[in-house]
Each structure stands twice: as structure tokens, then as C-alpha cells.
Structure 1
Amino acid sequence: MQESESGNGGVAQVILAYWYRSPVEDTLDSRLDTVLSSLLRAERKAGMNNFEKPRVAVGFGGCVDIIVDGVALLNNMGLQPSSPPLHHDYIQNAEQLVESFSYFFPPGAASE
């Protein structure tokens, strides 16, 4: 009987954790919506001239990325994991670096 009671307690804990979770920041979503709607407006303004064929430009980049183990790099710099992880538009200090790394690292996203 004790096993079923502890099982109910586990379900209650999951429900409480879900109920009291941190609110999701909609800031990034709203910024992405703004960028997308701006691009769509610009596209509509450009239009297509029926008499001229569109021109297409193709470019090639020559940059080389440096790939390092991010966790090892932060450990060698003496920086500790951040709580809570935060997204920064630009990084001005080591604290913001760790917060941004903590934000992008779990999903495996690039953070350029």
C-alpha cells in the first residue's frame, strides 16, 4: 500500500512542478515575428518587373570556424555554470558569456 501512496505523491510533484514552472519568455518569439513580418513587407514592396529577368548573385565565404570543447574552455577559464541561463544580444563580460553558453548549449544550438 505504501508503494501506491508514494506513486500518487510522484504524480502530484510532477503536476506541481508543471504548474509552478518558470514562465517562457516570449521576447525572442516576438523579435523573430518582427523580423519575419519586416522581411515579408520588404519583399512585397520590391515586386517583380515583368520586362526584366531577375538577377541572382551568389557569394562564397572564406571564413574558418574554430571548434573547441565549450565546457572544457569555460572550465579552463575558471568559469562556473550559470543559473538561470539567459540569452544576451551581445556579450560584455564573462558572466554574460556563461549565461549565453548555458542558454544555447542544452539544445545544441549555434549562438553566433
Structure 2
Amino acid sequence: MIDELMKILSDKTRLRIINILSLKPRCVCELTEILDLPQSTISRHLSKMKLFKLVLTEKDGVFIKYKLNNEFLEKYSFLNYLLDDLKNEFKEDLIKSEKVIIKDGVCVIK
């Protein structure tokens, strides 16, 4: 199991997604805006993380939001140290994430 986790964590895009989700749940369209990547790329990475139960989904109106699985973070406590490092490594993503909102059913940058 730990080898699969290391594979998940070996991808820069997945690390960037984890970093953003560490602040709050986000939908695919928000992640697409923040990371400036195609929806299909974001969805593919989220699917892998969801299969491994690193992320969970929750319904928010018409949107499906992804969030980090707290039980997973507790089980693999070293991830909390990783999250601290990610906040510095991908600081620009976090700054941009503060400007992305859902308005009238559409993800926009304010």
C-alpha cells in the first residue's frame, strides 16, 4: 500500500492538487482555473487519488467537490509535514486559489 502512496505523491500535478485541497474542498472547474490545466488532466489525477482514498467527494449543489481525507492524513501522519512544504513550494497556486470562486454556477477568477 505504501508503494502506491509513493506513486501518487511522485507526480507534481497531484502534489499541487493536494496543496490546494489542504485549504478547502474544490470542484474540478476550480482546480482547472487555479492550475491552468485541462479538465481531463485534473479529473484523471483526482480519480487516481480517489481510488486510493486520499481524496473524498462531497456534493455541493450541482457541484462535486473534492477534499482531502482526514482519516488518511491521520493514518499517514508524515503527509502533514509534506503539506507544510507544499505550501511553500507551490505558494503561487494558493495565492491564485484565493481569487477563484463559483459565481452563478461558473468558476471565475475575481
Q: Give the TM-score, by structure 2 length.
A: 0.22
**Highest relative contact order (Cα 8 Å, sep 6+), 1 or 2?**
2
Higher strand proportion (structure 1 or 2): 2
Bigger Rg, which one: 1
What is the TM-score with the length of structure 1 in the denominator? 0.22
